[in-house]
Amino acid sequence: MAIREISTKPYLDQKSGTAGLRKKVAVFQQPHYLENFLQSIFDCVPELRGATLVIGGDGRYYNRTAIQTACSIAAGNGVARIVIGQGGLLSTPAASHLIRKRGAQGGLLFTASHNPAGPDGDFGIKFNVAGGGQASEGLTNRIYEASKQLARYRVHEGGQVDLDRRGLQTLGGMEVEVIDCVDDYSQLMQQLFDFDRIRDWFRRGHTLRFDAMHAVTGPYAERIFVEQLGAPLLSVQNASPLEDFGGGHPDPNLIYAKPLVDLAFGPNGPDLAAASDGDGDRNMILGKDIFISPGDSLAMLAAHLHELPGYRRGLAGLARSMPTCRAADKVAKALAIPLYETPTGWKFFANLLDAGKLTLCGEESFGTSSDHAREKDGVWAVLAWLNVLAVTGLPVKEIAQRHWKRFGRHYYARHDYDELPGPAADSVMQALANQLAELPGRRLGDYTVSEADEFSYRDPVDNSIAVNQGLRVIFGDDARLILRLSGTGTKGSTLRLYLERYETRESALNWEARDALAPLVNLADRIMRIGELTGRKAPSVIT
């Protein structure tokens, strides 16, 4: 048993996207593929030598194999201690918290989030840095550059980690600590939320249905909602994490979590229905007969957060990704706190959170979280809603309606065109880019374009600049159309069209989103000609 240096040839495609490196499982199974990428990380982050590293995954196919490889490479690179969730499981936010709590110099998260799993599905790796946030754009680029030059990796040969046995083990000179994947996380949640009050809410007969979609949040939901908060066992469904997520698509939205949506809109819907994704960082919130869009959820939580124990001091600031609807902006204004607009991807919130400029942030893609972690957090969002319901005593629908009355309503939808040939997707982007200069001032239907641009972002903390973050057509406060290319897909190109319309008239607050957005869909057709340029008659998914 020794540390060996193995010579290897670089792969040229190890470029991370919006949230880590995501590829088909078969790509990761190529000889040395995983080892190469991991070694590139260790080469770019020398602080890991002699330090603690957190490892976990969403439980998908190949998770256990990848974790064994990661342990050998970590031992080969002089990591002092590894902390791993039992069974190789850690939700993304729980891993982020552990990195912070243990003062680790980083974390390896094996997940492709909501992408389908199994031998023919996707696999992925995210590297998070000290402090718990995702590697910055700069670091992921350095890792990519290193991977293209890589000639050898260092590995500890012999021995395996027993992922199922809690406690301390060693691998070569490295300590390995296998821990319960929920303990630390649930302790943190108890500091942030009023568990007594939520228990009371359940005792008074209120109901929850949480869909873990056979992914990582099952154990978290059972422990927290059922054991600690006293919700009946049947409040959590699809609770056992499976390697193929039960053949499903653990993406909590109106399409992939349809059974839950039907339940919420059915005769005996629970007071709160919610779901999370593969790695536990997304959330969907529904009440009886109502779906709360992620942008609304962010705004409504912002308006109520100071009523919850962990947030009594108030909010330092709010942030949303650029395509996320501007509902949070209205709340920030009312609270007289700053609102930051960042590019898509949680990594852009990290600096603001570290600098204490932010308390709450979110994305339209069903992501919400606070400064308790450096990742979005599905179970946290559900607890926040439970706590708001318990404190206000109001149903979800009433909270939403009062909110819209006070702040106005942002109707919102995202249209995804999946698996397009790259050139077709690029041509749509290019066609819109070509019009940006001439759009401002033009009257289109009921709207006038106030601005049209390509979004770029200067980080207010380190002044780094991210360009090429999506195309925007803005109609003042009234509406926006946004177009960008996804950075998480593993097949072809995915085009995302985001539509937002703002209404303050009282008679216009309770429309169906689809009806409210119909005029904007027409406008988008006129300006962007997606159907004509891609041959697609309709989006693949509307959320």
Decide: is 132 part of the binding site for ligand VG1 (CB under 6 A): no
Question: Which residues on adjacent β-strands are paired with residue 320?
Answer: 341, 362
The residue (of 96 and 387) whose beta carbon lies closer to Co ion is 96
Q: Closest approach of Cβ 381 to Co ion, in Å?
A: 12
194 is a site residue for Co ion (CB under 5 A)? no
- In the complex with ligand VG1, the residue whose CB is nearer, 418 or 453, is 418
Residues 246-275 within binding reach of ligand VG1 (CB under 6 A): none
Report how far residue 224's alpha carbon sits from residue 192's, in angstroms, rounded to the nearest whole number. Answer: 13
Q: How far is the CB of 417 from Co ion (least distance, A)?
A: 21
Q: What is the DSSP string of 435-488?
A: HTTT-TT-EETTEE--EEEE--EE-TTT--EE----EEEEETTTEEEEEEE-SS
Nearer CB in complex with ligand VG1: 14/494: 494
Is residue 180 a contact partner of residue 89, using CB atoms and an 8 Å limit? no
Candidate segments 168-176, 302-310, 342-350, 438-446, binder of ligand VG1 by CB under 6 A: 342-350
Which x/- pattern, by CB under 6 A, does the window 6-25 give for ligand VG1? Answer: ------------xx------
Tell me the window of 44-52, 169-177, 219-227, 481-489 that interacts with ligand VG1 (CB under 6 A): 481-489
Q: Kindly calculate the radius of gyration of the chain based on its CA atoms and give it in whole angstroms.
A: 23
Site for Co ion in 105-134 (CB under 5 A): 113
Binding to Co ion, residues 204-223 (CB under 5 A): none
User: Angle between the 294-304 and 327-335 helix axes, to the nearest 10 degrees?
Assistant: 10
* Segment contacting Co ion by CB under 5 A, of 63-71, 258-266, 281-289, 357-365: 281-289
Q: Does 277 bind ligand VG1 (CB under 6 A)?
A: yes
* 3-state class percentages of the chain: helix first, strand second, coil last, to nearest 5: 35, 25, 35
Closest among 83, 131, 68, 71 to 105, alpha carbons compared: 131
Residue 364 touching Co ion (CB under 5 A): no
Catalytic residue IDs: 113
Nearer to ligand VG1, 153 or 346 (CB): 346
Check if the beta carbon of residue 80 is closer than 8 Å to that of residue 52: yes
Other beta carbons less than 10 A from residue 3's beta carbon: 15
Given the complex with Co ion, which of 279 and 364 has the nearer CB atom?
279
Contact (Cβ atoms closer than 8 angstroms) between residue 238 and residue 302:
no
Task: State the burial class of residue 151 (Cβ atoms within 10 Å of its Cβ: 0-12, 13-18, 19+).
Answer: exposed
Contact 327, 296 (CB under 8 A): yes
Which secondary-structure segment (H or E) carries 200?
A: helix 195-203
Tokens of 58: 């969403």
**Residue 368 makes contact with ligand VG1 by CB under 6 A:** no
Residue 346 binding result from Co ion, ligand VG1, none, given CB thresholds of 5 to 8 Å by partner type: ligand VG1
Measured from the CB atom, is 225 or 348 closer to ligand VG1?
348
Site for ligand VG1 in 303-332 (CB under 6 A): 321
- Name the binder of 128 from ligand VG1, Co ion, none, CB < 5-8 A by kind: none
Q: Residue 139 in contact with residue 152, Cβ under 8 Å?
A: no
Taking CB under 6 A as the criterion, the residue among 85, 172, 252, 345 binding ligand VG1 is 345
Enumerate residues 423-452 that contact Co ion by CB under 5 A.
none
Contact of residue 235 among ligand VG1, Co ion, none (CB under 5-8 Å per partner type): none
Q: Near ligand VG1 by CB under 6 A, which window of 171-179, 277-285, 462-470, 500-508?
A: 277-285
Return the residue matching tokens 């890589």.
150
The answer to whether 365 contacts ligand VG1 (rule: CB under 6 A) is: yes
Phi, psi angle pair for 96, to nearest 5°: -60, -45
Parallel, antiparallel, or unpaired for β 81-89 and 52-57?
parallel
| The only residue of 122, 281, 500, 503 in contact with Co ion, by rule CB under 5 A | 281
Sequence-separated (6 or more) residues with CB below 8 Å from residue 187: none
Nearer to Co ion, 277 or 503 (CB): 277
Shortest spacing between CB 327 and ligand VG1, in angstroms: 16
The token pair that represents 150 in the structure block: 């890589």
414: left (phi over 0), alpha (psi -120 to 50) or beta: beta
Q: Are 243 and 267 within 8 A, CB to CB?
A: no
> Cα separation of 394 and 390, whole Å?
8
Residues 406-445 that bind ligand VG1 (CB under 6 A): none
In the DSSP assignment, the letter for residue 227 is I
Q: Which of 61, 193, 346, 348 binds ligand VG1 (CB under 6 A)?
A: 346
User: Shortest approach of ligand VG1 to residue 486 CB, angstroms?
Assistant: 3
Q: Which residues bind ligand VG1 (CB under 6 A)?
A: 18-19, 113-114, 277, 281-282, 321, 344-346, 363, 365, 367, 486-488, 496
Q: Which residues bind Co ion (CB under 5 A)?
A: 113, 277, 279, 281
